[in-house]
A = this chain, B = another copy of it.
Amino acid sequence: MRILVVEDEIRLAETLAQIIKQNKYSVDVVNDGEDGYDYAMSGIYDVIVLDVMLPKMNGFDVVREMRRQKNHTPVILLTARGEVTDKVTGLDCGADDYLTKPFSPEELIARLRALSRRKGEVIMDELVLADLELILSNNILQCGNKTVQLGLKEFEIMRLLLSNQNIIVPKEDMLLKVWGAESDAEDNNVEVYISFLRKKLAYLNSTVNIATIRKVGYRLEVKK
C-alpha cells in the first residue's frame, strides 16, 4: 500500500513518514499544496494524508480540485485543534476523514487502515465507534437493531465525542462548540446532557460508554 503525505512542517512530515513506514506501508512526502495535488492526481496512492494549512494551495482546495477531476483517492485531512470547523467535520470538501493534531501514531494508522479498506468514495454520513453509529443526516443513534432519536444538543455532543475518539473533549469545548461563545450556559448543562446520553446508551445496550475525566472533560470508551 502506498501513501502520500502532504505536509510543510518538515519535522512533522518526517515523523509521519516514519510512523507509516514502521507499519509496512510505502510513503512519499511532498511539502506544498501544488506538489501535493500533482502527486495525488497520479492515482498511484491508496490514501493521502493532507495537511489543511499548506503553502501555495490549501488542503481543502487540493481535495476539491481532485474530486472535480474525478480522482477519488481517499483523503485524510490533518487539522490543528482550532481549525476543526464544520467545513472539516462535515467533510463537505470531499475528504473522507480528518484527524486533529496532536494525535497518536495508533490513531493515524487505524484511520489509514479503515480508509484503505473502504477504498474511499463514500462520503461519510456516519460516525462509528465499536457497535455504535451516529447517523449525521438524521440525528439518529444506533446500536444493533435498536435506535434512538437524539435532540439537537444531544446530537452535537455525541458528534463531538465521536469525532474525538481517544481524546478527552473538555467540558469547556462542549460549551463553546455546542452552546456557543456568548451563551451563558454552565457546566451543569453539559452534565445534564451527558446524563441523557448515558441513559440512551444504556437503553441501546452499546459497549460504548462515556467516561468522565474529572476536572477536564469526557471521552468515549469501549467496554471489553
Closest B residue to A122 by beta carbon equals B101
Majority DSSP secondary structure for residues of A touching B: loop
Cα distance A126–B144 in the bound complex, in angstroms: 32
What string of 1s and 0s marks CB contacts (under 8 Å) between A128-144 and chain B?
00000001111100000
Residues A168 and B9 in contact in the complex (CB < 8 Å), given A80-B122, A124-B102, A215-B152:
no
Residues A103 and B125 in contact in the complex (CB < 8 Å), given A138-B168, A152-B215:
yes
Residues A123 and B102 in contact in the complex (CB < 8 Å), given A152-B214, A214-B151:
yes
Within the complex, the shortest CB–CB distance from A157 to chain B, in Å, comes to 15
A80 CB contacts on chain B under 8 angstroms: 121-122
Closest B residue to A51 by beta carbon equals B122
Closest B residue to A117 by beta carbon equals B9
Residues A213 and B149 in contact in the complex (CB < 8 Å), given A138-B168, A219-B138:
yes
Judging by beta carbons under 8 Å apart, are A9 and B120 in contact?
A: yes
Judging by beta carbons under 8 Å apart, are B137 and A168 in contact?
A: yes
Within the complex, the shortest CB–CB distance from A176 to chain B, in Å, comes to 11
State which of B120, B149, B166 has its C-beta within 8 Å of the C-beta of A11: B120
What string of 1s and 0s marks CB contacts (under 8 Å) between A89-131 and chain B?
0000000000001111100000000000100111111100000
Within the complex, the shortest CB–CB distance from A145 to chain B, in Å, comes to 12
Within the complex, the shortest CB–CB distance from A15 to chain B, in Å, comes to 6
Cα distance A148–B101 in the bound complex, in angstroms: 23
Q: Which 4 A-B pairs have the closest CB atoms?
A: A102-B125, A11-B120, A101-B122, A137-B167
Q: A9-B120, A102-B136 are in contact. List 15 more A-B contacts (CB 8 A).
A: A9-B117, A9-B122, A12-B123, A24-B82, A101-B122, A102-B123, A102-B137, A104-B126, A104-B137, A137-B166, A138-B167, A138-B168, A139-B168, A151-B214, A152-B214
